[in-house]
Amino acid sequence: MKIAKDATELVGNTPLVRINRLAAGLPGSIVAKLEFFNPANSVKDRIGVAMIEAAEREGLIDQDSIIVEPTSGNTGIALAMVCAAKGYKCIITMPDSVSKERRAVLRGYGAELVLTPGAEGISGSIKRAEAIVASGPHYFMPQQFTNRANPAIHKRTTAEEIWRDTDGTADILIAGVGTGGTMTGVGEFMKAHKPGFRCVAVEPDASPVLSGGEKGPHGIQGLGAGFV
Q: Is 100 noted as a catalytic residue in this protein? A: no
CA 96 to each of CA 91, 102, 103, 179: distance values in angstroms, whole numbers, following the listed order:
15, 11, 9, 20
Question: What kind and span of H or E run contains 106?
Answer: helix 100-108
Rounded CA-CA distance 184/171 in Å is 15
CB 146 within 8 A of CB 85: no
CA–CA gap between residue 126 and residue 47 (Å, rounded): 18
Closest-CA residue to 185 (of 144, 223, 221):
144
CB atoms within 10 A of CB 8: 20
Signed CA dihedral, 91, 40, 152, 222: sign only = negative
The rounded distance, in Å, linking the Cα atoms of 73 and 222 is 4
Q: Give the dihedral sign, CA 112/117/122/126.
A: negative
Q: Which of 2, 5, 44, 127 is catalytic?
A: 44
How far apart are alpha carbons 22 and 192 in whole angstroms? 29
Which residues form the catalytic set?
Answer: 44
